Structure 1
Amino acid sequence: MPDTARHALIPSPRTEPRAPAETPRHGRLYALDGLRLLAALTVVLYHYMARGGGWHGDVKAIFPTAFPIAAYGWLGVQLFFLISGFVICMSCWGKSLKDFFVSRVVRLYPAYWFAVVATTVTVAVIHGGAKPLPLTDVLSNLTMLQEAFGVEHVDGAYWTLFVELRFYLLFAVVAWWGLTYRRVLLFCCVWAAASAMYAKAPTDDPIRMLIMPDNSWYFIAGMAFYLMYRFRPNLMLAGVVLLCFCSSLPFAHSTWKNTNRYMGHTVPSWPVVVIIAACFGVMALVATGKLSRISWRWLPYAGALTYPLYLLHQVIGRELFSLLSPRMPAYALLASVIAGMLAAAWLLHRYVERPLGRRLKRGLAQL
């Protein structure tokens, strides 16, 4: 038998499909800094002008024009989660599990510890309506695990931090394995499947608590968007994003119902779908490089304000409204408190978050 015929009968070894080639990307994504601040400000406006608290009167009557818009500011959290999925992939690519752990501790805890203490002191001093938590509960809050312990948050906005921690815990598995296109995509698919399976599980189910089917879709979509950004879009990644968008809507609708109860007023549900679609849309622009040309130098400073602003704004703002709303016009007080919160956020970033973060990083690097 000729050699060519004999070789034709021998099956060729199976070859693994190649991952898409990486797309060269350079420089900082300034647009993400701006989007983060936008998300934080929408949450601030929701808490100040729609959720209310502290004002001597109904916020819908105080801000009749702005209320219908501010009532959807809670969706800034969903944008935060989309950005988080993208940024965690981007910042941890090529790094070890230890590097991932150190970066998350340094990023989250220094500003958070200060905010817990500052909020507790403010509530104790002003007596505007909020009651100081017992010292043991405040100490539990310093762990950022208070929700798992059944302890009340010092500031209600901190519930999102426990969501982030659970995302980091799940993502640590991939970070330990090593980030590649296939592994991150597999992680996205497995997490999405688990989220669908546990969507109807009781809220106190430990596995459901870890999987977070009500918020997982945003993190998964964020990671898929980053794979698009790094490796170019393809049909598989587009399918993951579309799946996440559609799957997030029932949970967003449930949150909309809850916000109506919190606000004491009912607003239409259709803007929720439109705003979430806009959040996915703007992240698609980031993922396809359409916003990479944005390079305004002030945006990194804006991004630096985001986390401290989010940590400080809610309870401290309400206490200030309770103290000052009988003495100042509503819009003047609102503008003053927002400006004060932005200034406090910068001071927290500059004099606490950065120096303490550097020291903490040096200490953890020696472990």
Structure 2
Amino acid sequence: MFALDGLRLLAALSVVAYHYTARVGSWPKKPEAIFPAVFPVTAYGWLGVHLFFLISGFVICMSCWGKPLRDFFVSRVVRLYPAYWFGVLATTVTLAVFPKGNRHLPWTDVLTNLTMLQEPLGVPSVDGAYWSLFAELRFYVLFAVVAWWGLTYRRVLVFCCVWATASMLFAKAEPGPLRLLVMPEYSWYFIAGIAFYLMYHFRPNLMLTAIVLLCFGAGLPATLKMWRSTEAYVGRLVPAWPVVLILAVSFALLGLVATGRLSWIRWRWLTYAGAVTYPLYLMHQMIGWELFHAFSPRVPTYPLLALVTIGMVLLAWLVHRYVERPLGRRLKKGLVRL
């Protein structure tokens, strides 16, 4: 689906733009002073992660339909880990070689990061962008239950309703294992993505539309809570209304995909663009920041920004072509034999 690849690219570039032109710490000076023209827009780029969550709900449901739980497990491991392992090691080496910005973690913490379970184990992440991966893992654990049961329209619909109910009940609960698993801060976006897929696979109806609208409204409080923390991340509190607008556009775009309104998009280059989004997301932040800190005194700002951005996209493609694909094939063969 070319439109989905296009949305992946949009989400990835939004996050990259946020980290490169709005996030405090990315440059020796405040990005707002360096990029005054784009800062008011890119300060909201963190919402690209929420678009990723929407897409993930859609894609995971689509890729698992009609397949056994074992295939679901193998596909997720093969998809997530090869590029992630490279990203962890590449970022660590970069931080060791360019010690001008952030220091690399102890090697014991790096080894823990390779499991992708550093957050529940209380270990810092090699790269701050990895926080969203643990949310994805929790979604996979929950969705594995219904995948084991067997995916049907009714069962997936029940899963969405049960997860939504649990999210409401745990929204104000104290931190604990069940709240961690339910993740009421982000669950609404995964649930909406699943509902959009049911629209795509079957047909839109009032029930699915109601679920999507419920998820949009119920997800706002936690997302606006994240918005309030932007003062610490970008240097000042930006207006709140664009958060609601951007989320509405994200939901609308996936709704257009679900109803076939974007099926006319068949640009084949989007397939390649979609392939690089995951490696790009994994590697762009800390590596880019180190390069900005190392070379900004000697290279003009905008050329350096362009070079680093293009370089990270090219690196992401090389990782996809020469690490993710071959290592993924070997990993898949090994897991299938188990």
User: Which interval holds the TM-score relative to the shorter structure?
Assistant: over 0.9
- Long gaps (5+) in structure 2: none
2:243 aligned partner:
272
Corresponding residue to 1:335 among 306, 318, 337? 306
Describe the SS at the equivalent of 2:36.
coil
CA distance in 2, matches of 1:281, 1:140: 38
1:10 aligned partner:
none
2:323 aligned partner:
352
Deviation at 1:132, TM superposition (A): 1.2
Stretch moving more, 258-267 or 219-228: 258-267
Which one has a bigger Cα radius of gyration?
1
Deviation at 1:129, TM superposition (A): 1.7
**One-letter amino acid of the structure 2 residue matched with residue 50 of structure 1:** A
Q: Output aligned runs, 1:1-367, within 5 Å.
A: 29-202=1-174, 204-367=175-338
**One-letter amino acid of the structure 1 residue matched with residue 158 of structure 2:** L
- Long gaps (5+) in structure 1: 1-28
CA distance in 2, matches of 1:56, 1:218: 35
Deviation at 1:139, TM superposition (A): 0.3
CA distance in 1, matches of 2:75, 2:26: 36
**One-letter amino acid of the structure 2 residue matched with residue 197 of structure 1:** L
CA distance in 1, matches of 2:252, 2:280: 25
Deviation at 1:57, TM superposition (A): 1.3
CA distance in 1, matches of 2:90, 2:46: 23
**One-letter amino acid of the structure 1 residue matched with residue 186 of structure 2:** N
Scaled by the length of structure 2, the TM-score of the pair is: 0.99
Stretch moving more, 51-60 or 231-240: 51-60
CA contact (8 A) 1:137 1:152 kept: yes
Deviations 1:282-320 (A, max 9, x none): 011001000112110101000001000000000000000
Deviations 1:9-67 (A, max 9, x none): xxxxxxxxxxxxxxxxxxxx100001101100000010111113241211111000000
CA distance in 2, matches of 1:141, 1:91: 27
CA RMSD between the two structures: 0.7
Deviation at 1:260, TM superposition (A): 1.9
Describe the SS at the equivalent of 1:129.
coil
Deviations 1:89-120 (A, max 9, x none): 00000000000000000000000001100000
CA distance in 1, matches of 2:301, 2:224: 31
**One-letter amino acid of the structure 1 residue matched with residue 181 of structure 2:** L
CA distance in 2, matches of 1:42, 1:300: 18
CA contact (8 A) 1:56 1:326 kept: no
Deviation at 1:265, TM superposition (A): 1.2
Deviation at 1:329, TM superposition (A): 1.4
Identity %: 70
Aligned length: 338
CA distance in 2, matches of 1:37, 1:158: 18
Describe the SS at the equivalent of 1:148.
coil
Deviation at 1:240, TM superposition (A): 0.3
Deviation at 1:194, TM superposition (A): 0.1
CA contact (8 A) 1:82 1:219 kept: yes
CA distance in 2, matches of 1:337, 1:241: 38
Deviation >6 Å, runs of 4+: none
Deviations 1:126-162 (A, max 9, x none): 1022111111100000000000000000000000000
